Chains A and B, each alone.
Chain A
Amino acid sequence: QKEVEQNSGPLSVPEGAIASLNCTYSDRGSQSFFWYRQYSGKSPELIMFIYSNGDKEDGRFTAQLNKASQYVSLLIRDSQPSDSATYLCAVITNDMRFGAGTRLTVKP
């Protein structure tokens, strides 16, 4: 089992819809959780971090953490074509482990 798992996609949503990205992790001791966005050929850009169970909202982005079920998700409301990118989930236990990423395409 991979330490951090994400659906590779591609996930395709129409402009204006909600995009839902999911991530599961294997280590119950994991304490910190991050979502990064990476455009093709560019470096990862931090979008959200969450440390406690529940929801955390920042603009059009909402991160949800459920430690009991060992999953963290990212919702993107009112999706825009500029949101088209690969989204990386990262989890810290002893070090930072990344999922392979989910490729999101938002179609105009």
Chain B
Amino acid sequence: NAGVMQNPRHLVRRRGQEARLRCSPMKGHSHVYWYRQLPEEGLKFMVYLQKENIIDESGMPKERFSAEFPKEGPSILRIQQVVRGDSAAYFCASSPDRVWREQYFGPGTRLTVT
């Protein structure tokens, strides 16, 4: 399967714990985007990364959230000290080697904070 991969698919964390979400882009894609979707709401852009670079993080909350896309390995979205309001579906998408072209989504990680 050469599609976008995300893991874990479901993640349960207690308030105050850390959540780490992983995304491997589609083969041949070097642009990665993270989105958050709250229940019954639309997708909200969070961050856009290329290998070793954060290009646009205008949608990221200023505190507790960070993202990286290292030279080797998947992109990681990290949420520190999670709160109940962080419960959502987090989707990763990737696009080919051109900025802001069509994006293909992974299956998502559903984060539940208890």
Contacts and interface: CB of A to CB of B under 8 A. Distances in A.
Interface of A: 32, 34, 36, 42-46, 49, 88, 90, 92, 94-101
A81 B10 CA distance: 29
B8 to A, nearest CB: 15
Which 7 pairs between the two chains have the least Cβ-Cβ distance? A100-B42, A98-B43, A43-B105, A98-B42, A92-B100, A49-B102, A44-B105
Contacts of B41: 100
22 contacts: A32-B100, A32-B101, A32-B102, A36-B105, A42-B107, A42-B108, A43-B91, A44-B91, A44-B105, A46-B102, A88-B42, A88-B43, A90-B43, A95-B56, A95-B58, A95-B100, A96-B33, A96-B103, A98-B35, A98-B42, A98-B45, A100-B42
Contact of B45 (A34, A95, A100): A95
B45 A97 contact: yes
Interface residues of B, number: 21
Given A44-B105, A98-B45, A100-B42, 6 more contacts: A34-B102, A36-B105, A44-B43, A49-B102, A99-B42, A101-B42
A98 B100 CA distance: 13
B61 interface: no
Interface in B50-85: 56, 58-59
Contacts of B42: 88, 98-101
A90 B43 CA distance: 9
B48 A95 contact: yes
B97 to A, nearest CB: 16
B55 to A, nearest CB: 10
Contacts of B107: 42-43
A49 B91 CA distance: 19
